[in-house]
Amino acid sequence: MSASTAGDGTSAACGLGDFLRTRAQEAGLSTREIAQAFQQRVDREEARITAGAGGPADPVGGLSFSKSHLDRLFKGGAALPSLRFLRVFLEITSAGAGLHPQRHQALYREATELLTEARQLRARPTAQPQPQPQPQPPTTAAAVAALQTQLDLERANRTGDRLRRELSDTQALMGTLLQIIDALRDIITELDLDLSGMPRTAGRTVPRSLAERQRTDAVEYKAAAEAEFDRVDHRRRVLELLWDQAQGNLRRLAAHAEVGYLRPLPDLPPLPARGALSSGLNAEPALVDIATALGRVQEYNAAEEQKITELRRVLADNAPLAPDDELAILVDATRLSDPRARGAALRTVLASWAHHPSTRDTLLRLVHDDQSAIRHNAVWGLAAAWAGTPEARDAVAALAGDPEYDVRKTAALGLVHGWAGDHTARDALARLVQHEDPGVRHTMVQALVQGWGDDPVVRDCLITLTCDGEVLVRALAAECLVGGWPGDGAALAALRSLCGDVAESVRWIAVQGLARQGYTPATSLVTGNAILQAAELPDSYQELGTLPIVAALRQGIGFHEGITVLVGANGTGKTILLEALALSLQRTKFALPVDRLTQVSLDLASHLRISRNAQRTPYSCHCVNDRTYRAPDRRASGLENRLAYLRSLAESGGAPNRIVLIDEPLAYLHPKEEHGVFDAVSELADQGIQLIVASSQATWTALPAARVIEIDRSAQRVASFDPTKLPG
């Protein structure tokens, strides 16, 4: 026997799963085919019940055998199966493999031993590591509430099983009564033939007096059978209504958070099989037999109607809880030790009772939970449902500095959503602009500008961050000063200081902002040694409508002599501009595929005004896109092919005044691979090559030598808080 040697039930369950998978492989059956074989057995059982033969004590229909369940069982991830399941499973696989009965019995004994071992190991208490102290341990009320819900669910399940059996037996009884009614109808017809003097079908007659008495009895029995049929049919309709009610209870109870994470109750012994009325009647049944059968039907109906009364009482006890009682159970469940149960309970509470005072108190407690996902949902709930209240504001502000990015981002945006203009919320965010994590500083700046855009305190925070050690933070501070405080003396002084920043992107933002406000000449936007110095469109150009690249070109785009990166979302027109620039340099050697040219590119090139350096005539223009990287070596990765091509441009050397236009060089690369492209591009720039790059990635800002120009700044803004969408 391939018994598990591990000390826990999980390994033993995996051993049982491996055993069952091996049996399926020997039979050449997939999990889908095995599930279909189970379903065929269920269909045969239901056919027998419909025919009035009754059902087995442990029907296959009560087992779990779906394809997904079998897949989990093979991996040891499903609940341990029953002996009945093992018996049916091995009958299917042994038949498929053509095994001898003795071999089948040996496999069944081995499977039984594996199942027994797994059950014993799961029941054995295992040494658990010392739990970490919880700020608020589960209460007795929480445990009682969880167990109560579990018991209610178990009771609802078993009530549903009883109803299913009652419906099955009722349908079988209706079939038997229809047979009795048909038999009585035939008897009455034959007796009418006797009384009319016509010969019987079978050629046998009875005395007239006996025929009259039998006909009277047959008519009476037929009326009684029809009355009993109506009685059973009424009970069937009642059972169907009770079945709908039971299914509603099951769905309601199964939606509770803690149900899925508690151990199942032990199985009860199967209910005894209920004897059904005989479905076989003689070709010419005696009336006395029919009278006996009708007597049994009447007794059976009386007993079943008593059971209907009992089932109604059980279902009344299983009625839905009052809303406040259900909320109390869910609130207690948020104190359970299992984080999955706490999280599920919290989501259920937020979905239905977000504005209840008990929910507010629960959220204020859960913002201190040790699980980041629970803190995330708690801070969202406070901002969405309790905006404006001081207690919620203080709790949300405390999480703005949370170590988890999603939590602090939702907290910062939640303060903007619920407390924009509130000085306490503003001060909480302002304190975090000095946080050691640059990601926190970046998020706080975005939130402050959204909620307190014209506040001098926010301006002072931005001025402080113009000296930040991170390029991304300095660039964001410069953008916000340019857009939010035009003409402000302190903001202008900070922008002037940034004109000498070590990062080209920061210098460009500062110089561009000052030029647009008229504080520096527009010629300062042009780099003197660049081959292509600038590109612009006349205000009269309307062909491309509101495309973001057109708006940027109307203001003018100045190119750096080294690396210029046009950053924007897909569809902003970056690639169209690269193609138009290549067309303007068509007398040089360039490798732009002809089939990539579009009428839009041709039209833009015909209107584009390009400023060139008269001292540096371009020698060649290389256009690089995703198809250019496709090297013959198919074994090389995408990064290796790109780097190889870029290095080939650097190694060609010799020719001066070269321009390289690159479209999306970071596409499909992992963030860790981006630095390889940055190094290759920087190497080209060091050789005097001018590079103009189009990219949807803002990470180019981290490259100090690159001038990063945002084509569509709205695409780079932080997302706003959505009070209608629960995170995760």
pLDDT, tens only, 570-594: 888 888 888 888 887 765 444 444 4
287 and 219 inside one domain: yes
Q: Is the pLDDT of residue 182 over 80?
A: yes
DSSP code of residue 244? H
The tokens for 436 are 């050691």
162 and 286 inside one domain: yes
Task: Identify whether 310 is part of a domain.
Answer: yes
Q: What is the pLDDT of residue 361?
A: 94
Give the CB-side neighbour count of residue 395, counting CA atoms within 13 A: 26
Mean pLDDT to the nearest integer, 381-405 = 91
59 and 177 inside one domain: no
Share of the chain above pLDDT 90, in %: 11
**Which uninterrupted H or E stretch holds 527?**
none
118 and 172 inside one domain: no
317 backbone φψ class: left, alpha, beta (φ>0; ψ -120 to 50)? alpha
Nearest to 686 by CA among 649, 723, 642: 649
Whether residue 537 contacts residue 553, with contact meaning beta carbons closer than 8 Å, is answered with yes
Nearest to 393 by CA among 414, 369, 368, 407: 414
Residue 289 CB partners (closer than 8 Å, separation 6+): 281, 282
Q: What is the pLDDT of residues 539-573, one digit of tens each?
A: 778 777 678 888 888 877 888 888 999 988 888 88
Task: Identify whether 228 is part of a domain.
Answer: yes
CATH of the domain at 655: 3.40.50.300
Q: Which of 98, 123, 148 is the last residue of a domain?
A: 123
CATH of the domain at 15: 1.10.260.40
Q: Is the pLDDT of residue 393 over 90?
A: yes
Poorest-pLDDT segment among 25-34, 77-86, 118-127, 662-671? 118-127
233 and 167 inside one domain: yes
Residue identified by tokens 């949807």 is 696
Q: What is the pLDDT of residues 86-110, one digit of tens each?
A: 989 999 998 888 888 788 888 988 9
Q: What is the pLDDT of residue 244?
A: 74
Task: Return the bridge partners of 609, or none.
Answer: 536
Q: What is the pLDDT of residues 148-179, one digit of tens each?
A: 565 566 666 667 777 777 878 888 888 888 88
Of 36-40, 236-240, 288-292, 710-714, highest mean pLDDT:
36-40
194 and 261 inside one domain: yes
Poorest-pLDDT segment among 8-22, 347-361, 385-399, 408-422? 8-22
- For the chain, the residue count is 728
Task: Identify whether 132 is part of a domain.
Answer: no
Q: What is the pLDDT of residues 613-638, one digit of tens each?
A: 777 777 777 788 777 665 555 555 66
- With b meaning 16 or more CB within 10 Å and e meaning fewer, what string describes 328-342? ebbbbbbbbebeebb
Q: Is the pLDDT of residue 20 over 80?
A: yes
Cα of 389 vs its chain's centroid, Å: 32
178 and 221 inside one domain: yes
Cα separation, 42 vs 621, in Å, equals 73
Confidence of residue 252 (pLDDT cuts 50, 70, 90): low
Give Dmax (Cα) for the chain. Answer: 134
With H, G, I as helix, E, B as strand and everything else as coil, classify residue 563: strand
Q: How do strand 557-558 and strand 532-536 relate by DSSP bridges?
A: antiparallel
Nearest to 173 by CA among 240, 244, 230: 230
Residue type, 601: S
Whether residue 362 contacts residue 349, with contact meaning beta carbons closer than 8 Å, is answered with yes
Cα separation, 39 vs 45, in Å, equals 10
Q: What is the pLDDT of residue 286?
A: 67
Poorest-pLDDT segment among 58-67, 120-129, 674-683? 120-129
Task: Identify whether 347 is part of a domain.
Answer: no
Q: What is the pLDDT of residue 297?
A: 84
Share of the chain above pLDDT 70, in %: 77
Poorest-pLDDT segment among 21-25, 158-162, 339-343, 380-384? 158-162
Q: What is the pLDDT of residue 90?
A: 92
What's the start-to-end Cα distance of the chain, in Å? Answer: 45
The tokens for 421 are 């203009």
Identify which has the larger pLDDT, 693 or 712.
693
Whether residue 576 contacts residue 596, with contact meaning beta carbons closer than 8 Å, is answered with no
99 and 160 inside one domain: no
601 and 632 inside one domain: yes
The tokens for 226 are 């029809």
Cα separation, 373 vs 527, in Å, equals 49
Q: Which of 317, 334, 366 is the last residue of a domain?
A: 317
Q: What is the pLDDT of residue 531?
A: 80
Residue 324 CB partners (closer than 8 Å, separation 6+): none
545 backbone φψ class: left, alpha, beta (φ>0; ψ -120 to 50)? left
Identify which has the larger pLDDT, 310 or 690.
690
Nearest to 661 by CA among 555, 600, 604, 584: 584
The tokens for 199 are 């010969």
Q: What is the pLDDT of residue 6?
A: 40
Identify which has the larger pLDDT, 264 or 656.
656
The tokens for 442 are 């970046």
Q: How do strand 658-663 and strand 563-567 relate by DSSP bridges?
A: unpaired
Task: Identify whether 81 is part of a domain.
Answer: yes
Cα separation, 372 vs 539, in Å, equals 51
Cα separation, 180 vs 279, in Å, equals 9
Cα separation, 710 vs 567, in Å, equals 5
The tokens for 439 are 């990601």
Q: What is the pLDDT of residues 134-154, one digit of tens each?
A: 444 444 455 545 555 655 666
Domain span at residue 112 reads 9-123
117 and 146 inside one domain: no
Mean pLDDT to the nearest integer, 525-535 = 71
Cα separation, 432 vs 417, in Å, equals 18
Task: Identify whether 446 is part of a domain.
Answer: no
Identify which has the larger pLDDT, 100 or 399.
399
Q: Is the pLDDT of residue 308 over 90?
A: no
Q: Is the pLDDT of residue 696 over 60?
A: yes
Mean pLDDT to the nearest integer, 644-653 = 73
178 and 222 inside one domain: yes
Identify which has the larger pLDDT, 215 or 639.
215
Q: What is the pLDDT of residue 618?
A: 72
Q: Is 610 exposed, middle or buried (0-12, 13-18, 19+ CB in 10 A)?
A: middle
Domain count, the chain: 3
Write down the number of H helices and E strands in the chain: 25, 8
Q: Which of 123, 154, 173 is the last residue of a domain?
A: 123
Task: Identify whether 343 is part of a domain.
Answer: no
With H, G, I as helix, E, B as strand and everything else as coil, classify residue 457: helix
Mean pLDDT to the nearest integer, 39-62 = 78
The tokens for 556 are 């003018």
Q: What is the pLDDT of residue 9?
A: 57
Q: What is the pLDDT of residues 497-517, one digit of tens each?
A: 888 888 888 888 888 788 877
Q: What is the pLDDT of residue 283?
A: 34
Task: Identify whether 429 is part of a domain.
Answer: no
What mean pLDDT is reported for the chain? Answer: 77
Percentages helix, strand, coil for the chain (3-state, rounded to 5) are: 60, 5, 30
Whether residue 586 contacts residue 541, with contact meaning beta carbons closer than 8 Å, is answered with no
Q: Is the pLDDT of residue 266 over 80?
A: no
Q: Is the pLDDT of residue 534 over 90?
A: no
541 and 648 inside one domain: yes
Cα separation, 321 vs 173, in Å, equals 36
